[in-house]
A and B are shown apart, each in its own frame.
Chain A
Amino acid sequence: MRTRASAQLVGPVLRALPRRALGAGAAAGLVLAALPRLLSTHPDPWMALLLLRGAALAFALGLTFLLDDPARHVTAAVPTRRMVRGALRTALVAPFAALWWTAAVLLIPAQVRPPVGDITLEAAAAAVVALAASATAIRLTEEAEPGQRVAITLLATSMAAALLLPQHWGLFATPKEKWWSPGHQHWALILAGAAVVWAACGPEPIRRRGFFATRSAKISPSTG
């Protein structure tokens, strides 16, 4: 029964996807990854790593809009739980994301490409952090479209983290540095932690008007 309901949901969910935001993120990421080939220069490995990280960040920013649902206050009442709908959205985007990441990695010339497994871990962690952040925003506020707010927070946080986090954490290390492998253990931890937060924030809140209710929530139609 439930699977049939989910199957019926595929069409509407696909239509409701924020395709423009996702597409913009993917396009920005591809442009960044294509820069070394477009300009036919001899990029150094550090630059390639930086561009791939930029691409991952751009796509993660696109993903922060994934759970935006303008009709949120209406769909709260439908029998299919929000967790299912959110999971369905993610599942629909996942193959596209995998394809996109493959393309981005392949766009970087092979001789300067950073270790693919490790950089994929970073990109996956960034994506899951983005999803967890938007799920948290939806869980804790009544905003229907927190995407932009979350995107700004994610961008500011990542820039500040790159600037401020101690070097020995290795989150933004280069492959030759000794912090590369502990750094990727930290990335794995971030991935796991974000996944837990994401799962915890999946269900629709039972009580409304939470702690973090924003001003926009107060004027939104659902409170009436």
Chain B
Amino acid sequence: MSAVLEKAPPAERTEGERRSWAAVFALARFEARELLLRAPVLFMFVLYAAWIGWSMRDAWTTYPALQDVDRLTQNGPLLPALAVLLCANQAVLRSRRQDTDRHFDVLVLEPWRRTVAFALSVLPAVALTALFVAAQFTWGVLAPGSVGHGSVGELLVGPLTVLLAGSAGVLLARVVRSAFAAPMLLVLAFFSILFLGAVPGNSDGSATRWLVPVIGDASTKTLPSDLLGRPAAWHALYLAGLALTLALAAVLVNGGRTKTVAAALVVAVGLGTWGAVGQAGKVPAATVAARLVATVNPAKVQPCARHGHSTYCAFPEWMPRTGTWAKVTDNVQSLAGGTAAQEKLLVRQRVDARYGMDGDGAIEPSTVPYQVTVGTRWGGPRVPEFAAAVSSVLVTGSEKATSSLCDGRMVTIMWLALAWQSDPLAELRTVRLDDSVTGSAIVLSPTNPMSMTSEQTTVVRELFTAGKSAIAPKVKAHWAELTAPKVTTAKVAQLLGVKAPTGADKCE
């Protein structure tokens, strides 16, 4: 004590000021370490890491779009946010619980500076969350075949949620000094938000919808990043403003009524309000117009590339994927006979972007001859679906002609689409809506689905059993008969040399 007095000339105000800030940072460092080492926080971070691993487990095979991956990073940080809120709250209340509050009266550090230190102590947890988010996003970027662009605004939501939670915990401890307030209020807030979120009637353009930290989407489709129309940057600004406001309010109610704090609080409230107003706005007219163009007349915005016989037009972000599509098209076309084997196809990427992420719309089949539609997703069942679209266009001439298809040509379509795959039967299972390989079923495709009768399914299965090398020459030899309209399934089976089914074609 005496040593301190000797060294510090009490008259010098700036020196004392600097020293108390040094004390603030020292306390913040200590509290940050305590916070990160608390069991609930550690547990939740471990859980969060596991969640990242689980949610990204098949990123390597599903060709992620980065404008989806950035939004995927937002839900996980709610786990550490929960623990940080509760533990920051408990840390502020620790001195009260252990009855050491009055000891602080003799220290040079005023109570409000202690609050500043507690607010700062959350930052390492925020930084750790940012690291996790960055790791998750990087995983998506590194995944083979990933396309698109992430948004910094969407990526910031995770760390800012943790910051918001920490500030809320500190403020809560300064306003309500009881140990049970934080868990109770958290439960109350969590379930009321869930309940209010589920009350219908506030879907489109609602300003209040964006007030919660993480906003999901009604639709799960993938859109080009410039058509999303999510006010991501505004929302990040809103969250940052709100977190700052809460932290500064905690300082203010704790006696830190200095001009700097008041000015900073005004700025923070301004930032939060600015963000809230910005995110509440309608989708910009330019985006709405661009969505319409992209849906109705995609040719205007899509560059094209040539691979082999065919041309591939896609939204600019998907151009790197055209080569992958070309492989599938070439494989399917190599099995076809007649003129279809040399036909110049136009593969065009189409998506219904009119409703943004608020709703889905079906894409109408294209009426243009030899034009095939491909969607914005790839990997898994999307591959055989696209292959079925290609083969149906090769057999019938256009997508539109496929929609009313109800005869033996379906057998040829499905064989062309799947026979080149290493395990055609497994692919048949994934492309059918009910995941079956027997009986009748709906076959998915990027536009309208097709239907297979149970007889057609049996014939297709037998063709796969016979093997590609046995069937391929027969398909090429009988191409004209196989693709003639009204050909029966029995006739197709006979032409290809497998057992003909007894029943007649009956479509449902």
Contacts and interface: CB of A to CB of B under 8 A. Distances in A.
A200 B244 CA distance: 47
Interface string A56-100: 011001100100000000000000000000000000000000000
Contact of A61 (B79, B97, B180): B180
B387 interface: no
Given A148-B97, A219-B98, A35 B180 contact: no
Contact of B180 (A62, A164, A216, A219): A62
B192 A151 contact: no
A132 interface: no
A20 interface: yes
A153 B187 contact: no
A153 B190 CA distance: 16
Interface stretch (A23-31, A111-119, A134-142, A174-182): A23-31
A199 interface: no
B180 A159 contact: no
- Of the candidates A20, A57, A149, A164, the one having the most CB atoms from chain B within 10 angstroms of its own CB is A149
Contact of B194 (A24, A44, A50, A216): A50
Contacts of A47: 195, 198
B90 interface: yes
A65 B179 CA distance: 9
A139 B191 CA distance: 32
A41 B191 CA distance: 16
A145 B97 contact: yes
A43 B86 CA distance: 30
A148 B86 CA distance: 9
Contacts of B198: 44, 47
B231 to A, nearest CB: 27
Contacts of A32: 187-188, 191-192, 195
A57 B184 CA distance: 9
Contacts of B180: 20-21, 24-25, 61-62, 65, 147-148, 151
A152 B40 CA distance: 8
Contacts of B51: 163
A203 interface: no
Nearest to B185: A28
A155 interface: yes
A20 B178 contact: yes
B248 to A, nearest CB: 25
A155 B82 contact: yes
Contacts of A21: 178-180
B186 interface: yes
B40 A216 contact: no
A206 interface: no
A54 interface: yes
Contacts of A58: 184, 187-188
Interface residues of B, number: 32
Interface in A176-224: 216, 219
B181 interface: yes
Interface residues of A, number: 37
B43 interface: yes
A32 to B, nearest CB: 5
Contacts of A160: 43-44, 47, 79
B200 to A, nearest CB: 8
Given A39-B199, A152-B90, A160-B79, A61 B187 contact: yes
- Of the candidates A44, A54, A57, A152, the one having the most CB atoms from chain B within 10 angstroms of its own CB is A152
B93 A148 contact: yes
B191 A62 contact: no
A57 B179 contact: no
B97 A35 contact: no
Contact of B82 (A151, A159, A216): A159
B83 interface: yes
A114 B139 CA distance: 42
A152 B82 CA distance: 9
Contacts of B192: 31-32, 35
A161 to B, nearest CB: 11
A153 B195 contact: no
A62 B188 contact: no
A2 B43 CA distance: 44
B184 A54 contact: no
Nearest to B97: A145
Interface string B163-187: 0000000000000001111011111
Nearest to A220: B98
A151 B191 contact: no
A2 B35 CA distance: 46
Contacts of B186: 155
Interface in B390-448: none
A104 interface: no
Interface in B79-115: 79, 82-83, 86-87, 90, 93, 97-98
A5 interface: no
A156 B86 contact: yes
Q: Which are the 9 A-B pairs with shortest beta-carbon distances?
A: A54-B191, A148-B179, A21-B180, A152-B86, A151-B183, A58-B187, A28-B188, A156-B40, A28-B184
Given A35-B195, A54-B190, A58-B187, 16 more contacts: A21-B179, A25-B184, A31-B188, A51-B191, A57-B187, A61-B180, A148-B93, A148-B97, A149-B90, A152-B40, A152-B87, A152-B183, A153-B39, A155-B183, A156-B83, A160-B43
25 contacts: A20-B178, A21-B178, A21-B180, A24-B178, A24-B184, A32-B191, A35-B192, A35-B195, A36-B195, A41-B199, A44-B198, A50-B191, A54-B191, A58-B187, A58-B188, A61-B180, A65-B179, A65-B180, A145-B179, A152-B87, A153-B40, A155-B82, A163-B51, A216-B97, A216-B98
